[in-house]
Amino acid sequence: MLLLCGASLVLAYQAQQRVQSLEQDLVRRQQDSQDQSTEARALARQAQDISRDASAKVALVEARLAEVALQRGQLEELMQSLSRSRDENLVVDIDAGLRLAVQQAVITGSAEPLVVALRSADERLQRVNQPRLEGVRRAIARDLERVRSVGVADVSALVIKLDEAARLVDEVPLLASVGEGAEAAAGPTKTAGPGTPGSKANGGARGHGVVNGVVPPAREPDVIPWWQRAAHKAWNEVRTLVRVSRIDRPEAMLIAPEETFFLRENLKLRLLNARLALLSRQFETVQSDLHSAQEALDRYFERGSRRWVLLNELVRQVMAQAVHSSVPRPDDSFTALAAAAAGR
């Protein structure tokens, strides 16, 4: 019994010790579980906070992304609007320049302002390089080719020719005065007869001959008798009284010397009137005045003179070139510009 009691006591003690150790282990595990639960709770709270922050950041990023997308759309619309506005301004500017060039061409009668405006418009469109404006460039090229093919009178050059013709009027000899200048120039040379110093000297030179290519000095001329000088003077006066020439228009020889001034001035007025009519683009008046001037040249002036040929050539050139020819309007360019401005 004692042994059984002792064994039971030992077993009870061991059981008690084991239970205590189990309790301690259980308490420790429970403490650890509580610590882990607390730590897990803290981690969960921290994770929740992080998730909340992440959600807030994601929401902020999404808001920023939406704002950026909106700004990008607005920027694209602004760029497209700016591009359209630039193209529209370019189209309006080119249209205004072409219309101004058309007015200048009508005023000046020259196609050069319109050609310059079309070239400038084509260069500007080439620098922009917009596909929607290619139709405008093709229309401008067609109008430029058509304007170049039209021959327009160069008014400035024709005015210069008329000024030169008016200057030559005073230098062209009249039919009524043909031969006077030549006889006046030939008179002193023909008065020298056999007894003149020149003939005496020549005769002496021929009499002595030429030695080694050197002409010997002439002898002193003899004194011309008074009766011989008087005879030569009378003969020259008689020769100037009669002149034989062919005159197709007898009325040209009936002009008095004091009327030649008015004839030349009238011809000048005809040329100056043609000049004013040319500047006013009145080509019918130009042709009429130049035709009258041409008739006056053919009727009253000497055709064989070099000045007459030059004056007649100037008048004929002006008559041939002073023809009314209007500068064509660039209608194709205006139509293409209107279509581009309308967005088609």
φ/ψ (deg, to 5) at 303? -75, -20
Kindly state whether residues 273 and 252 are assigned to the same domain. yes
pLDDT at 219 over 50: no
Q: What is the pLDDT of residues 251-301, one digit of tens each?
A: 555 566 677 788 888 888 988 998 888 887 777 888 888 888 888 888 888
Angstrom distance (rounded) from CA 143 to CA 122: 11
What secondary structure letter does DSSP report for 174?
B
Residues 6+ apart with CB under 8 A from 325: 150, 151, 152, 153
What secondary structure letter does DSSP report for 179?
T
Is position 266 within any domain? yes
Angstrom distance (rounded) from CA 303 to CA 306: 8
Kindly state whether residues 124 and 171 are assigned to the same domain. no
Kindly state whether residues 117 and 142 are assigned to the same domain. yes
Structure tokens at 308: 């007459």
Structure tokens at 296: 């006056």
What range defines the domain where residue 71 resides? Answer: 61-152+326-344
Q: What is the pLDDT of residues 75-114, one digit of tens each?
A: 887 776 666 667 677 888 888 888 888 888 777 667 778 8
Kindly state whether residues 281 and 333 are assigned to the same domain. no
Angstrom distance (rounded) from CA 309 to CA 175: 14
Kindly state whether residues 173 and 109 are assigned to the same domain. no
> Could you tell me the pTM of the whole model?
0.45
Structure tokens at 275: 């000049």
Can you say whether the dihedral through the CA atoms of 277, 281, 285, 289 is positive or negative?
positive
Q: What is the pLDDT of residues 190-211, one digit of tens each?
A: 333 433 333 333 334 333 444 4
Q: Chain centroid to CA 70: how far?
A: 48
Distances (CA, A) of 43 to 32, 33, 151: 16, 15, 96
Q: How many domains does the chain have?
A: 2
Q: Would you state the pLDDT for residue 255?
A: 67
Is position 238 within any domain? no
Is position 198 within any domain? no
Q: What are residue 171's DSSP bridge partners?
A: none
pLDDT at 116 over 60: yes
DSSP string, 180-227: HHHHHHHHHHHS--TTSHHHHHHHHHHHH--BTTBPPPPPPPPPPPHH
What secondary structure letter does DSSP report for 301?
B
Distances (CA, A) of 185 to 180, 232, 316: 9, 16, 33
CATH of the domain at 333: 1.20.120
